[in-house]
Amino acid sequence: MGDKTLDIENVYTAYDKADVLEGVSLSVRPGRITCLLGSNGVGKTTLIRSILGLTAPREGRITFGGRDITGMSTHRVIATGIACIPEGRKVFPKLTVTENLRIGAYQVKAEAAIRERMNEAYEIFPRLAERRSQLAGTLSGGEQAMLSIGRGLMSSPDLLLIDEPSLGLSPLFVKENFNVIQRINERGVTVFLVEQNVRQTLAISHYGYVLGKGRVVAEGEPDTLTDNEEVNQAYFG
């Protein structure tokens, strides 16, 4: 289970020329839910991409459990015990629900473990069990969100990166989603949660960071961030 710290030190990441991240440093401590708040386009997804090696940082260092993972190939990063529930869910539309889950466990060799976790996912989301042989592209938005979460758990990761899980969901689903994330964490998975939904995110987090334009502009325990009027004004309107 999660006993490794993710450390991000002074990371600069650019897509073409202009830096999107300009010296981001933060820590995701084991066993906790750490959140990253910030408004549209400040670089939250870019930070996730930097961790995963999808867009390698041009400067700075990212370590996980003391191991340097900066700019590693994505499949190697995943092998260190990291999984991701990407922004926009990104289920594979032309794979079935079962196949989508199976791919979440792509690096898991033991068939028994895969089956056990698949059953767990179906227990958490009975709706998915009913649709197990349906193509994921035919699911509703809420069901795709469930599938994306279930898929993220299939590798039994130490650290789960979650990028805006409530985006585009109905309020009821959003609430359920936050409950699920909390339950995942209670089972020992470290969570790094990227969100714009400030109040509900802080309600389940142990620690939070606020990203401004490419920089961390505030950090602290949830209550200090909630009370931080400046942060509220500047980033959440």
Ligand X SMILES: Nc1ncnc2c1ncn2[C@@H]1O[C@H](COP(=O)(O)OP(=O)(O)OP(=O)(O)O)[C@@H](O)[C@H]1O
List interacting residues with other proteins (CB under 8 A).
Answer: 52, 54, 73-75, 78-79, 84, 86, 88-90, 92-95, 99, 102-104, 106-107, 135, 137-138, 151, 155
> Is 133 among the residues that bind ligand X (CB under 6 A)?
no
Nearer to Mg ion, 126 or 237 (CB): 237
Residue 236 CB partners (closer than 8 Å, separation 6+): 37, 39, 196, 198
Residue 214 CB partners (closer than 8 Å, separation 6+): 19, 20, 21, 22, 23, 24, 42, 43
Cα gap 73→34, rounded to integer Å: 24
* Least CB distance to ligand X at residue 42 (A): 5
Distance of CA 209 to the CA centre of its chain: 14
- The amino acid at 41: G
Residue of 8, 26, 42, 161 interacting with ligand X (CB under 6 A): 42
> Is 43 among the residues that bind ligand X (CB under 6 A)?
yes
Q: Which does 15 bind (CB under 5 to 8 A by kind): Mg ion, ligand X, other proteins, none?
A: ligand X
Residue of 1, 10, 15, 130 interacting with ligand X (CB under 6 A): 15
Cα gap 24→215, rounded to integer Å: 5
* Least CB distance to ligand X at residue 98 (A): 29
Query: Shortest CA distance to 68 belongs to which of 85, 53, 48?
Result: 53
Nearer to other proteins, 107 or 170 (CB): 107
Residue 132 CB partners (closer than 8 Å, separation 6+): 96, 97, 98, 122
> Is 81 among the residues that bind ligand X (CB under 6 A)?
no
> Is 151 among the residues that bind ligand X (CB under 6 A)?
no
Q: Which residues bind ligand X (CB under 6 A)?
A: 15, 20, 38, 40-46, 87, 164, 196
Q: Which residues bind Mg ion (CB under 5 A)?
A: 44-45, 87
